[in-house]
Structure 1
Amino acid sequence: MPKKSLPKCVINLSDLKVPIEKISPVIKQIADICGKIPNNLPSTRTIERMIDSKIAIAHKQISNVLSNKIDTTLYTDETRKYGKTLQTYIVTDDNKTSYVLGLREMLDKSSKSCLDTFKEILKDITDHCYEQEKDNEKQAGYELLCHLKNTMSDRASTEKAFNVLLENFRREILPLIIEDWNKLDVTEQALCSKMNNFFCGLHLMVGIADVCEKALYKFEEAFLEGKDIGSAHYPELKRFYRHESGTLRLIRTACKVFAVGEDEKSGASMAWMTFLKQQGEKNLFIRFKHNRFNLVFVLGLACYFHKTLASIFLDTVHGTNNGLLRAVSLDIKEDLYLAGCKSFGLISKLITGPLWRLLESPGHILEMNKFYKQVIDFLVKGVSDTELAVKFCNGTESPFDTDISTDDKLLQDLVKENTDVDAIVVPMVQNLFQAIHELLSRLIIDHLPGGTFWEPEEYTLLSSKSALKHNRLPEFVFGQLDQLLRYRPNATVLTNESFIMYSHNKTRHWLASLDEIEKKKLITESMKEGKEQRQLFRSRLADIQIQRIEVQKQKQQQLQELERKRIQKAEDMTNMVCYYGLWQNQNQLEEGLSVLKSEKEKRAALEAQLKFRKTVLKQKHPDKKIYNFSKLNERGKYTKLTIQQLKDNVETLIKDTLKEPTHENATQGRPLLVGKTIKHSFSDGNIYNGYVISMVPGFSMWYNIKYERDDAIYAFNLVEDMEKGDLSIVVANQ
């Protein structure tokens, strides 16, 4: 093999998923088949240097292909892998062809970090520009930035903030790139500067699942009125319970039993599959991943469809020899939970499923406006119109006029009458309609009447032609990254970035389209640039590490400051309560108040007792309002509690502590302190001799102390002070 052809061969083999350590053996094997003997095979280190050049080649492709593409769309998203924060940037052109611009590690997921990382990528594209003559005034990276007209992301606050920063940065760069910018009037400049910010339609599915689960939880709670059904009758089965609706619990536990690979210990997936095969059915249960698009609704459908066979299987075929199987067997017979599963199934088949297919179908993103409005109008009507809700449940009405196909067994089973269950399904569905409507009205407001993208102008339609209806591209890139990390967990982010960019952007095919002389020159340049990119990558990682150390120091300082303020606050409260004394029984409470003459002093003393017990002693009480100094009146305004009400609250807290042991118990590693003379050091540097009188009732670490030449009795956490070395025992009284 000619030496000059070796880099191209290595790069192409790596793009065909040949592992780095196998590339030389593959070359040798092919040479043997061809009857050739290679003079020298590249080492692993040499191969890695050649692979580093892939990212430089990919940047040249981007600068070449996207230089003439206008009104492009930028897709961004962030993920965490092995503790690293990674961000990907992808661009689509008017043909909706996508190009990965980069996959980079960041300090954190803040909008500023996202923009700084994007600037790095633009600089790298400029440095590796395909054009032989690079014009400093018209850099390739900045031209790419100016061609961006749309953004697509999820609705995370950091993504929204990034969109604002990106638009401002782009506005600064436009005068440097567009000729005669100053000759444009204000309206033309504003039109050029404006960007369309779109948000992922598929992420609506996750939001719809979340709000439906919350609405279902409230519906079940109101429907049951405190009664137990299904597995709730058996305390030993409560270990499968979480803060979720019974329907979601049934779906989750049913997946553990019936889904392959979910629960190998307590599940029965293989026996279930065998049983279904005999019945001529397929297993619809898959692993439960709550955050996956539409999954909860699909699994609700599966649970409802398999309800009869699942019950027969658990009761008469396999048996219920553990708690998980018993719980599912009991819950899957309950009409309320089956109504929830049926409601989820209907929403999957008639709302979210068709909406998903529309979002993934070809077409302009703003074509979704009319479909979003259809859904909203249907939900609004369905909330109040019981007849429409009934028709929805029997499949004759839906937002998208879905046909009830006789070939769809699942849908046929859903719309088939089930008297006991349907009586619950109709009001349940109306509750879910309300929850979905409230969510969509907030999230897709830009696509509804009066919104930014409702009835768009021709310019907006043309400039947003490149935008997809969803932000699935970054998820696809992260999926590729997961596969690479499983295969090579120690590979650097740069290596994975080069693999993903070269593969996704079809750089190998673009390279093959160049003439031979140009191709060789490009690869030679890229070999050198790849080495520089590796050095730059290490330098950036070092900068990130320095920034992480700085952030860690700042957090440490913040924690120290918080601790200082906490101690200062505790000291202030301790000083305040020392002035009045810590009242530890009813007599002390009465005596303490009796010596105070004014209402103001009594209020201050009682508030000091409450503050000290809440903040310093950290006394717990079921009624958190017991520590309040005011209450909400009938007119919706706060009024101060009376002296008697404050006194009653303090008295209640005192009585609670007296229920606990009031004498000191021996604890391993801690000496008894009551009756001992101590030396007590304070933060001001002074050391006082004192005598420990007793333990504060209800608080085993707090003691009452009387110091020499001071008649007052104080309460301090002596155990904590002893651990800090601020307290020592001088004499133990006999």
Structure 2
Amino acid sequence: MVDEGYVISQVQVMEGVLNSNNVTVHSDGTSRDHKKIVGHQLSLSNGETFYLGYVPVACENANTLLDLSLSVLQQLYVTYSDFSFIDTHELMKTVLSKITSLMTDRAAAMKSYGRLFEEHVKSEIGGDVIVHFLHCSAHYLLGLVSACEKAVSAIECNFVREHGSLGRDKEKKFVHFADAKEIATFCLLRTACEVLGPNGDQKSGCRMDWVSFCEKSQIPSFKGNRFNCHFEAAAAIIFHVDKIKTFFTSGILNAPNLKLESVSCDVQDNTLMSIACCLALFFLKVTGPFWKLVNSSVKFTDFHHYFKMLDGALSRWSADPNELLNHDFICIFDDQMCAKSVMFDAVHDFASKCDSGFLTAICKSLCQEALIVTRRQLVDFLDDGYFTNMSSHAQEQLRHCSLTNLIGESSFGDFDFDISKRRNATLHNRSAVHRFKRIKTSKFLGRKSQSQTSRLLKIARKRAPLLRKENKEMDEKMKNAKKEKFIENQEQKIAKEINDVEKRSNLTEKVKKHGGPFSSHEELENFLKNNRKKSITFLTDNIKDEIRFQKFVVGHKNLKLGSLEEMVNYLKAVLQEERPFKRHCYDFEEI
């Protein structure tokens, strides 16, 4: 029954595509249980969205992704050909001619995937065809997070160098909590959300106690919105900062664990809270309004108007961020997406109590890094950018396109929910159920006449076993591709081992020519003493060979090349001294 519903939904998708003038193909990938999965969706010029399900993939390179997309579309052609008696090749040409754009995230392979897809369309239908390649605008926020992390990291390093540790790092009991990969401010934001927010740390958290104490908590889940969670968390923590301090220090908690104590130490640190305050201001006036923008009805063709406001604000603030700190300036966009709130007032009230010079320096650094990312990732929306100066024909093709690829994210949300309910269902079964529900195939079938319904069910019974077989073959193809990759990796490893043996052998022969390899300080000293009249080039080349021998044959991986004096010191650090000897100081400029 599920397989038959899968077939009927394919007919529904094809009818929608054929009735549309322009189609955008969305694709997104994820991994579950160490298995890579790609999902496809179609958005049509009339506003409809069709979900095409999930397919397994061995590796997400451009050619593999292209083959997957074409195979998903090919299933639609074949099924609809049985229903309509239209030639499969003609259906393919018709559908490809309607695909005017692709939308993906910013994964490395996607740009090549877009180019290959366009080349395929040109080869099939001919003519001067353009398939526009669109990036998901929501992923720009991930770039902003990285930019702000870079800026904050530099600020923290400078502060620690001049004034000492920050937050919990001042206390010896947290010495084992140190994490070199995470900056202190971001650690505060994450741990505070884990112990106080929903879906947090069930073992070390105190969510229920906090909610009872606070009554109405604004602390978000750190697992929810990965695009905006750092900025949103900063705003919520600043909003609740006084209550958080009271909650942890007034004895309300009977036996707080180390994680709770670490959050308490961090929120008492004025420097960390000043940085968090700047991130909160960034949320209220930049990333929060931007998130509302990408989730609104604003279309891709209108985005350049908002980009000008964003770019202009960051440009001004990179030189003078006082506007960002101004309570009267609400946000970067001059429309209904921005409004003052209780949180807005609370954050500005906290900012007024901080060192204004320090806040200005932080905001300036944040805006400078954010501007670099903005102009790199959204370059096509600059005044001379591609999407700013589109032809009227291109604008018509993209008028239906949304700003984000979040339909792929929501599709995988359904996938995770289905896994929690049906652990052992096949990927094909999940795709069928997901698509049938999402595009409301039962309503589509209900709108058909009795004869059409009878014909659809007949085709569904015929095609269902074939589609199930095709999807099994796709699984087998994926497994075979993985096996081929395993063999390729194995061959590469063997080739590398052979190459390493040859390299070690050659290095051994080279160092033997000058009396090496050296095994002690004394041998190295004797070599330098006996060859002090030789040229600097001769000595440098031979010491380089010794360094390479120690690195690739002996295994001292941290050795590196440098000046002659530096390399001699590197060798001395790793060579075993056989017996005491008099150290000589050589003047390498005289050698």
Is 1:338–2:273 an aligned residue pair? yes
Question: Any residues of structure 2 matched to 1:19-418 within 5 Å, and which?
Answer: 50-129=1-80, 132-136=83-87, 138-175=89-126, 189-190=127-128, 193-226=129-162, 227-242=164-179, 243-277=181-215, 282-289=216-223, 292-319=226-253, 321-391=256-326, 394-396=327-329, 398-401=331-334, 408-416=341-349, 418=352
- Please list the CA deviations of residues 258-309 of structure 1 after superposition, one character each: whole Å capped at 9, or x if unmatched: 12442233322222222113xxxx1222332397121111110111111111
Is 1:491–2:428 an aligned residue pair? no
| Secondary structure of residue in 2 paired with 1:86 | strand
When residues 429 and 485 of structure 1 are mapped into structure 2, their CA distance, relative to the original with a 3 A threshold, is: same
Distance between the aligned counterparts of 1:234 and 1:407, measured in 2?
39
Question: Any residues of structure 2 matched to 1:505-544 within 5 Å, and which?
Answer: 505-544=439-478
- Please list the CA deviations of residues 388-426 of structure 1 after superposition, one character each: whole Å capped at 9, or x if unmatched: 3442xx242532247899972111101225333544222
Q: Greater relative contact order (Cα 8 A, min sep 6): structure 1 or 2?
A: 2
The letter for the 2-side match of 1:408 is: S
- Corresponding residue of 1:724: none
1:382 and 1:433 in contact (8 A); partners too:
yes
When residues 61 and 344 of structure 1 are mapped into structure 2, their CA distance, relative to the original with a 3 A threshold, is: same
- Please list the CA deviations of residues 140-187 of structure 1 after superposition, one character each: whole Å capped at 9, or x if unmatched: 233212210111111112111111111000011114xxxxxxxxxxxx
Is 1:582–2:523 an aligned residue pair? no
Structure 2 gap ranges (5+): 580-591
- Please list the CA deviations of residues 343-373 of structure 1 after superposition, one character each: whole Å capped at 9, or x if unmatched: 1111111111111212221133121101111
The letter for the 1-side match of 2:333 is: F
Distance between the aligned counterparts of 2:65 and 2:213, measured in 1?
52
The letter for the 1-side match of 2:197 is: A
Between stretches 80-89 and 442-451, larger displacement belongs to 80-89
Is 1:650–2:585 an aligned residue pair? no
Post-superposition offset of 1:137: 6.8
Distance between the aligned counterparts of 1:71 and 1:284, measured in 2?
42
When residues 407 and 586 of structure 1 are mapped into structure 2, their CA distance, relative to the original with a 3 A threshold, is: closer
Question: Any residues of structure 2 matched to 1:579-618 within 5 Å, and which?
Answer: 579=513, 580-593=515-528, 598-599=534-535, 602-618=539-555
Distance between the aligned counterparts of 1:524 and 1:502, measured in 2?
18
| Secondary structure of residue in 2 paired with 1:151 | strand
Distance between the aligned counterparts of 2:57 and 2:557, measured in 1?
43
- Corresponding residue of 1:179: none
Question: Size of the alignment, in residue pairs?
Answer: 572
1:350 and 1:402 in contact (8 A); partners too:
no
2:41 and 2:51 in contact (8 A); partners too:
yes
Distance between the aligned counterparts of 2:55 and 2:338, measured in 1?
47
Between stretches 126-135 and 59-68, larger displacement belongs to 126-135
Post-superposition offset of 1:603: 4.0
Distance between the aligned counterparts of 2:472 and 2:90, measured in 1?
24
Post-superposition offset of 1:595: 5.3
The letter for the 2-side match of 1:428 is: I
Distance between the aligned counterparts of 1:290 and 1:102, measured in 2?
23
1:63 and 1:141 in contact (8 A); partners too:
no
Question: Any residues of structure 2 matched to 1:630-669 within 5 Å, and which?
Answer: 641-642=563-564, 646-654=567-575, 657-658=576-577
Distance between the aligned counterparts of 1:363 and 1:652, measured in 2?
63
Distance between the aligned counterparts of 1:405 and 1:82, measured in 2?
41
| Secondary structure of residue in 1 paired with 2:354 | helix
Amino-acid identity (%): 20
When residues 645 and 453 of structure 1 are mapped into structure 2, their CA distance, relative to the original with a 3 A threshold, is: closer
Structure 1 gap ranges (5+): 1-49, 176-188, 630-640, 664-734
1:63 and 1:140 in contact (8 A); partners too:
no
2:321 and 2:363 in contact (8 A); partners too:
no
When residues 374 and 311 of structure 1 are mapped into structure 2, their CA distance, relative to the original with a 3 A threshold, is: same
The letter for the 1-side match of 2:120 is: F
Distance between the aligned counterparts of 1:108 and 1:451, measured in 2?
33
- Corresponding residue of 1:186: none
Distance between the aligned counterparts of 1:405 and 1:51, measured in 2?
46
2:495 aligns with one of 561, 564, 571:
561
Post-superposition offset of 1:604: 4.1
1:479 aligns with one of 398, 413, 421:
413
- Corresponding residue of 2:585: none
Distance between the aligned counterparts of 1:470 and 1:116, measured in 2?
24
| Secondary structure of residue in 1 paired with 2:401 | coil
Distance between the aligned counterparts of 2:510 and 2:82, measured in 1?
76
The letter for the 2-side match of 1:139 is: E
Give me the TM-score of the superposition, normalised by structure 2: 0.91
Distance between the aligned counterparts of 1:124 and 1:234, measured in 2?
62
When residues 92 and 451 of structure 1 are mapped into structure 2, their CA distance, relative to the original with a 3 A threshold, is: same
The letter for the 2-side match of 1:341 is: A
Distance between the aligned counterparts of 1:247 and 1:528, measured in 2?
60
Distance between the aligned counterparts of 2:105 and 2:94, measured in 1?
25
2:285 and 2:331 in contact (8 A); partners too:
yes
| Secondary structure of residue in 1 paired with 2:265 | helix
- Please list the CA deviations of residues 3-44 of structure 1 after superposition, one character each: whole Å capped at 9, or x if unmatched: xxxxxxxxxxxxxxxxxxxxxxxxxxxxxxxxxxxxxxxxxx
- Please list the CA deviations of residues 441-491 of structure 1 after superposition, one character each: whole Å capped at 9, or x if unmatched: 011111110000113221111111221111011111111111112211221
When residues 397 and 353 of structure 1 are mapped into structure 2, their CA distance, relative to the original with a 3 A threshold, is: closer
Which structure carries more helix by proportion?
2
- Corresponding residue of 2:395: 461
Give me the TM-score of the superposition, normalised by structure 1: 0.74
2:22 and 2:100 in contact (8 A); partners too:
yes
The letter for the 2-side match of 1:109 is: E
1:570 and 1:616 in contact (8 A); partners too:
yes
1:241 and 1:249 in contact (8 A); partners too:
no
Post-superposition offset of 1:496: 0.9
The letter for the 1-side match of 2:366 is: L
